Amino acid sequence: MAATRSDSILARFGGSVKVGGVTIATVTALHSNGLDPDYIGGELGKNMKDAGIAGYVGEATGYVLTFSNGLVAYLSGDTGITSEQDKVVRGHYKAKLAVMNIGDNFTTGPTEAAYVINDLVQPASVIASHANEVATKGGKVLPGTKTETFIRSRRRCRSIIPLSGKMMEFDSNGKCVAGC
């Protein structure tokens, strides 16, 4: 089933929207955001490829979600380190849970992401995301993975490892209360 315009809600940078009991605010994320001309296709895609240019697909965005139980969660999006992670995400929104991309190349790598979590956002719990690797087997983190590097590098909060098919629940302080 394809998404329709009525399935979408616009949330412009710096603003927020409320969906049900969740307030969604947009925050800064920084990375290049081009689309390979092969995905565009047709004559336009061919001309762009011949010229060596990519299609611009808009600003990178992170999100802060405030749930009805008071939990504030930061979804980093594809980003590098930004000062807004300290001033806005921690300072203004006071995020208690972070979902932090650790994949490297197009986003923070595991040690950069650990810096963001340890020194800038400082949440109670963090979920590593977008690692672009098989990171677990039998519910255990595999040695030598980006996920293991991230977990070893973070200091101030609990790392939660997402596992397929397991739902997690968090209280308003960012503490995992079920499924972790």
Local structure of residue 87 (DSSP, 8 states)? I
Instruction: Record the pTM.
Output: 0.86
Condensed to tens digits (0 to 9), the pLDDT of residues 1-51 reads 555 667 777 777 888 999 999 999 999 998 877 888 898 889 999 999 999
CATH of domain 11-178: 3.60.15.10
User: Looking up tokens 């040690």, which residue turns up?
Assistant: 111
Q: Where are the chain's structural domains?
A: 11-178
**Mean pLDDT to the nearest integer, 128-133:** 88
Tokens of 153: 């590098």
Helix or strand or coil: residue 177? strand
Contact between 135 and 151 (Cβ < 8 Å): no
Q: Sign of dihedral through CA atoms 39, 104, 176, 82? A: negative
Query: What pLDDT sits at residue 47?
Result: 95
| The pLDDT of residue 145 is above 90 | yes
Local structure of residue 163 (DSSP, 8 states)? -
Beta strand pairing call for 125-129 and 97-101: parallel
